[in-house]
Amino acid sequence: MPLINTSVSTDEVTYQNTFYNNILDESFDLKIDRNTDGYIPGTLFEHKQNITSYGRSKALSQALIYLVRFNRDGIPVPKNIMLVSQDEEKVYLYNTNDYIDIINDILRFSTIPGSIGITGFKEIKKPKEITYKLGNASKCHDLLKILNETPQFVKVNITEHNVYGWANYFYSKSSNPKKIQFFKELRKPESVLANYINPWKGTEKDFHLIMDLLNDPQQQKKLGAFYTPPEYAKKAVELVRKAIKNITEKGNDYIILDRCAGTGALECELTEEELSHTIVSTYELKEWHALKDRLGGLVRYIIPPIPAKAKTYPNYDSKTGFLSGANALDKSFIDNPEIKKYINNSKCNIILFENPPYADDSGDTTRTGKSRETSKNTYVAKEMNSKFKSDFPGLVQSKDIANLFIWSGFEYYLKKPNDAYILFSPIKYFKTGHLVNKKFIDGFAFNRQYFHATKSMTSCIYWQNISDNVNLLFLKAYDIENNKLKFIKDIEIKKVYSTVNEKLFDKRIFDDKENGIYCSRNGIEGQKTKSTATKPFYNENIVGYLHLIGFAFDSKNLTLTRNTLNLRKNGFYLREDNFVEKLPLFCAKAFPQDEWYETDVYSTTGDGGDTYTSDKNFLKQCLLYTCLSFKNKCRSLYGTDNRFYRNELCFYNDETKAKIKLNELINQGNYLTREENELLEDYNKIIKEIKDKEEFNKNYTYGLFQINEEINLKIEIGKDKNGNPKIGPKYGDLNNLLSAFKKKVKTYYKNNLIEPLFKYELIK
Instruction: Name the residue ranges covered by the structural domains of the chain.
Output: 12-147, 163-208, 230-492, 500-759
Distances (CA, A) of 382 to 328, 374, 375: 14, 11, 10
Strand partners, 445: 459, 477
Cβ neighbours of 334 (radius 10 Å) = 19
CB contact at 8 A, 187 and 204: no
For residue 680, which of 736, 623, 752, 764 has the smallest C-alpha distance?
Answer: 623
Q: Are 75 and 170 in contact (CB under 8 A)?
A: no
Going 369 to 448 to 296 to 83, the CA torsion angle's sign is: positive
10 Å CB burial of residue 742 (0-12, 13-18, 19+) is middle
Among residues 236, 270, 231, 267, the alpha carbon closest in space to that of 482 is found at: 231
Measured CA to CA, the distance from residue 590 to residue 197 in angstroms comes to 51
What confidence score (pLDDT) does residue 568 get? 73
Instruction: Say if residues 411 and 387 touch (Cβ distance below 8 Å).
Output: yes
Residues 6+ apart with CB under 8 A from 183: 204
Q: Classify burial at 105, counting beta carbons within 10 Å of its beta carbon; exposed 0-12, middle 13-18, buried 19 or more.
A: middle
> So what's the pLDDT on residue 374?
54
Looking at residue 696, the DSSP 8-state letter turns out to be -
With the C-alpha atoms ordered 243, 246, 249, 250, is the resulting torsion angle positive or negative? Answer: negative
Task: Give the dihedral of Cα atoms 714, 717, 721, 724; nearest 10 deg.
Answer: 60
CA distance 704 to 686: 9
Region class of 159: left (phi > 0), else alpha (psi between -120 and 50), else beta? beta
Task: Sort residue 539 into left (φ over 0), alpha (ψ -120 to 50) or beta.
Answer: beta
Tell me the whole-structure pTM to 2 decimals. Answer: 0.88
Question: Hey, CA dihedral for 207, 212, 215, 217, is it positive or negative?
Answer: negative
309 to 46, 107, 205, 296: CA distances (angstroms): 35, 14, 22, 14
Q: Whole-angstrom Cα distance, residue 642 to residue 92?
A: 92
pLDDT at 6: 43
For residue 165, which amino acid is it?
G
Label residues 271-284 b or e (16+ Cβ within 10 Å = b): eeebbebbbbbbbb
CA 664, CA 577: separation in Å to the nearest integer?
Answer: 13
> 626 φ, ψ to 5°?
-60, -45
d(CA 424, CA 478): 14
pLDDT at position 496: 94
| Distance separating alpha carbons of residues 429 and 406, to the nearest angstrom | 8
What number of CA atoms fall less than 13 Å from residue 29's CA on the CB side?
A: 8
CA–CA separation, 393 vs 373, rounded Å? 25
Q: Which residues of the chain are under the pLDDT cut of 50?
A: 1-9, 360-373, 393-394
d(CA 462, CA 440): 6
What's the pLDDT score for residue 723? 80
> For residues 116, 120, 124 and 128, what is the CA-based torsion angle, rounded to 10 degrees?
40
Q: ∠ at Cα 90 (87, 96), nearest 5°?
A: 125
Superfamily covering domain 230-492: Vaccinia Virus protein VP39 (3.40.50.150)
Cβ atoms 734, 689 nearer than 8 A? yes
State how far the Cα of 420 lies from the Cα of 243, in Å rounded to an integer.
7
Q: Which residues touch 154 (CB under 8 Å, ≥6 apart)?
A: 77, 78, 79, 96, 97, 100, 103
Strands 301-303 and 278-281: parallel
Among candidate residues 424, 425, 406, 381, the one with its CA nearest the CA of residue 465: 406
List phi, psi (to 5°) of 301.
-160, 145
CA 450 from centre of chain: 6
DSSP H stretches of helix in 33-139: 51-54, 56-73, 100-104, 106-109
Instruction: Give the CA radius of gyration of the chain.
Output: 32
What is the Cα–Cα distance from 35 to 26, expressed in whole angstroms?
21
Task: Give the Cα separation of 573 and 542 in Å (integer).
Answer: 6
